[in-house]
Copies of this chain bind each other. A is one copy, B any other.
Amino acid sequence: MKNQNFTPNWLEREANQQSFRSIFKWGAKDQFKNPSHGFLNVIKKELGLSDANFQAPVNSGGTIVEDTRKTTMLLEDIQQFEKIVGQENIFFDTYSRVKYSTGKSMEDIINLRQEKIENICDIVLHPRSREDIKKIVTLCHTKKIPVHVYGGGSSVTLGLTCQKGGVTLVMATHMNKMIKFNETNQTITVEAGMMGPEYEDLLNHATEKLNAKREYTGGHFPQSFEYSSVGGWVITLGSGQSSSYYGDAYDLVISQEYITPTGSFKTHDFPATATGPKINDIMKGSEGCFGVLVSVTMKVFQYQPETARQFTFMFPSFETAINAARQISQAESGMPSILRFSDPEETDIAMKMYGLEGGILDKFMVLKNFKPESRCLLMGQTDGGMAFSKNLFKHIKKVAKSNRGFYLTGYPMRKWRKGRFSDPYMRDSLNDFGVLIDTLEASVTWDHLLELYRAVRKYIKKHPDTICMTHASHFYAQGTNLYFIFITKMQDIDEFRLFQRGIIDKIEENFGSLSHHHGVGRMMAPWMERHLGEKQMDILRAIKNHFDPHNIMNPGGLGL
């Protein structure tokens, strides 16, 4: 603990080609991000680790995935699929099958680090068109072969595992094109496999690339933005970091086109209708269990980055921060795009990460009764039209002040913004030394927020030597979400599973939703019946059975 500037032997080199590591490593193969000294020192202290624990990486997954796991698919089936997509778009080597059956959940990663191959598909297809997909789904329906869809591969809820083998369709390879940009309606229609950065880039350069009158934004920036697909956002009900203003993925979808075992359809483009239950909404969040999402028409927004204003406040307590956030969300003055508040533990760690701890500002705050283990950061950004953004910024300052918020300028917020897409890289660095970092999240109404927070935190902190940071980052007049990050020393998959499932139990028992924006996957699936109740699960089962009577579409997904 003495050496505050000790640097571990971070594994900053590209993973071997075809290795396990090349599959589970986050993001670009040549990009890395390690915890700062401040953050690492917190981890060492809280987890009771020493420099010795950071000498030699363990289970780093550098081994090549040997082609030892032969596909069990019949040759005649393989030939039929090959006929549909062409020889260059079909793969059944072990590496490809592992790669496209794996997401970024901690369980996925632990397994791959231990070189365990479980629940992989039999064959990987890269469909070139909706016609390819129609033929594939029809063939699979006839032959009762499971079908899975792989978008960006960033699922953290075991959304991509293939318990029953079968086919995985990789959408990002070919199904990634823009279909139509409609500036009058402010909508864009894209194939489901278009990735976040291409999508946003098109819109941000609409004058040049889409012959538009001005630039636009999609307004959707999940932490996985760079490695997630537009279709994935919709099918798993994701939320971006600016969701409080732009809306969750759910709100952004105008229409969708599906290919299901029992038929294909495209929903209407109306901004609203009163023609019975909305098919467009019934399909959202179906996680591939009803059919394959082929294309989506999304709302777009006028891009005006010049109006953005960042703010950061320190509050003396968690309660005052919560009150301020609730008042901002209910004030009828527009919503900030980004809004987030941290609990005391996350705040204290953030102070260390931003290098604020112990400085003049810190000392001043402590004098003013903003004390560690109690004080809470709230930060965010306003967007929208110039006067709208300015007015909202002023209003937020007023609300914060009336709740004893101390203004810390926009600096910490801008600092956070810089790291917001690269933070996931740190997980790999820590995992290399057996430090586990994982997250769980839930939505909650305002009246149950503290109850949920305390119950989950109590459970996590009961585990010895464990960091638990909590924040809320998606806001509604009626409530918000809680996002729990836990860091501990753990490598055994069974121990991890037991611990994680205990957290999910606590969430479910204390008025949290099973998922605010991570989707269900196979991780939450076992809780679905208890969470929604039998009668509501029956509805999902009835719809599932209508689309997919042979249960070939993502079998086991959604707990169906």
| Residues of chain A having any CB pair with chain B under 8 Å | 182, 184-187, 236-239, 248, 250, 254, 262-265, 267-279, 281-287, 289, 299, 301-302, 304, 326, 330-334, 383-385, 387-388, 391-392, 394-395, 443-447, 474, 476-481, 513-520, 524, 528, 531-536, 538-540, 542-543, 545-547, 558
Q: Are A333 and B285 in contact (CB under 8 A)?
A: no
Q: Are A536 and B274 in contact (CB under 8 A)?
A: no
Q: List, in ascending order, chain B residues with CB within 8 A of A543's CB.
A: 277, 539, 542-543, 546
Q: How far is the CA of A187 from the CA of B184 in the complex (A)?
A: 35
The listed residue (B299, B332, B395, B514) touching A302 by CB distance below 8 A is B332
Shortest C-beta distance, A300 to chain B (Å), equals: 9
- Ordered by A's residue number, 23 sampled pairs between the chains whose C-beta atoms are within 8 Å are A186-B478, A237-B274, A238-B274, A270-B479, A271-B443, A271-B445, A271-B477, A271-B479, A272-B443, A272-B481, A273-B443, A273-B514, A274-B513, A274-B520, A276-B520, A279-B532, A281-B281, A333-B387, A334-B334, A387-B394, A388-B391, A538-B546, A542-B543
Q: List, in ascending order, chain B residues with CB within 8 A of A391's CB.
A: 387-388, 391
CB closest chain-B residue, reference A268: B513
Q: Are A273 and B513 in contact (CB under 8 A)?
A: yes
Q: Are B445 and A269 in contact (CB under 8 A)?
A: yes
Q: List, in ascending order, chain B residues with CB within 8 A of A299's CB.
A: 477-478
Shortest C-beta distance, A452 to chain B (Å), equals: 11
Q: List, in ascending order, chain B residues with CB within 8 A of A182's CB.
A: 445, 447
The listed residue (B239, B304, B539) touching A282 by CB distance below 8 A is B539
Shortest C-beta distance, A152 to chain B (Å), equals: 16
Q: Are A536 and B265 in contact (CB under 8 A)?
A: yes
The listed residue (B287, B330, B542) touching A542 by CB distance below 8 A is B542
Shortest C-beta distance, A12 to chain B (Å), equals: 34
Q: Are A302 and B330 in contact (CB under 8 A)?
A: yes
Q: How far is the CA of A267 from the CA of B536 in the complex (A)?
A: 8
Q: List, in ascending order, chain B residues with CB within 8 A of A531's CB.
A: 275
Q: How far is the CA of A542 from the CA of B123 in the complex (A)?
A: 32
Q: List, in ascending order, chain B residues with CB within 8 A of A289's CB.
A: 276
Given contacts A302-B330, A535-B265, A558-B276, contact A513 B285 (CB under 8 A): no
Q: List, in ascending order, chain B residues with CB within 8 A of A479's CB.
A: 185, 270-271
List the 5 closest A-B pairs by CB distance, nearest first: A542-B546, A271-B476, A237-B274, A333-B385, A271-B478
CB closest chain-B residue, reference A246: B332
Q: Are A239 and B272 in contact (CB under 8 A)?
A: yes
The listed residue (B250, B254, B332, B443) touching A388 by CB distance below 8 A is B332
**A330, A444, A528: most-surrounded residue (chain B CB, <10 A):** A330
Q: Are B384 and A333 in contact (CB under 8 A)?
A: yes
Q: How far is the CA of A384 from the CA of B395 in the complex (A)?
A: 13
Q: Are B524 and A275 in contact (CB under 8 A)?
A: yes
Q: Are B271 and A276 in contact (CB under 8 A)?
A: no
CB closest chain-B residue, reference A558: B276
Shortest C-beta distance, A484 to chain B (Å), equals: 15
Shortest C-beta distance, A182 to chain B (Å), equals: 6
CB closest chain-B residue, reference A390: B391
Q: Are B236 and A274 in contact (CB under 8 A)?
A: yes
Q: How far is the CA of A283 from the CA of B263 in the complex (A)?
A: 23
The listed residue (B184, B187, B263, B476) touching A538 by CB distance below 8 A is B263
Q: Are B279 and A285 in contact (CB under 8 A)?
A: no
Q: Are B186 and A330 in contact (CB under 8 A)?
A: yes
Q: How far is the CA of A220 from the CA of B152 in the complex (A)?
A: 41
The listed residue (B270, B275, B302, B444) touching A528 by CB distance below 8 A is B275
Shortest C-beta distance, A238 to chain B (Å), equals: 7
Shortest C-beta distance, A334 to chain B (Å), equals: 5
Q: Are B276 and A477 in contact (CB under 8 A)?
A: no
Q: How far is the CA of A334 from the CA of B389 in the complex (A)?
A: 10
Q: List, in ascending order, chain B residues with CB within 8 A of A385's CB.
A: 331-333, 395
Q: How far is the CA of A383 from the CA of B331 in the complex (A)?
A: 12
Q: A274-B520, A276-B520 are in contact. List 11 more A-B contacts (CB 8 A).
A: A182-B445, A237-B274, A248-B272, A265-B535, A274-B285, A274-B519, A275-B285, A275-B532, A277-B286, A279-B539, A391-B391
The listed residue (B263, B332, B535) touching A384 by CB distance below 8 A is B332
Shortest C-beta distance, A526 to chain B (Å), equals: 13
Q: Are A186 and B477 in contact (CB under 8 A)?
A: yes
Q: Are B279 and A250 in contact (CB under 8 A)?
A: no
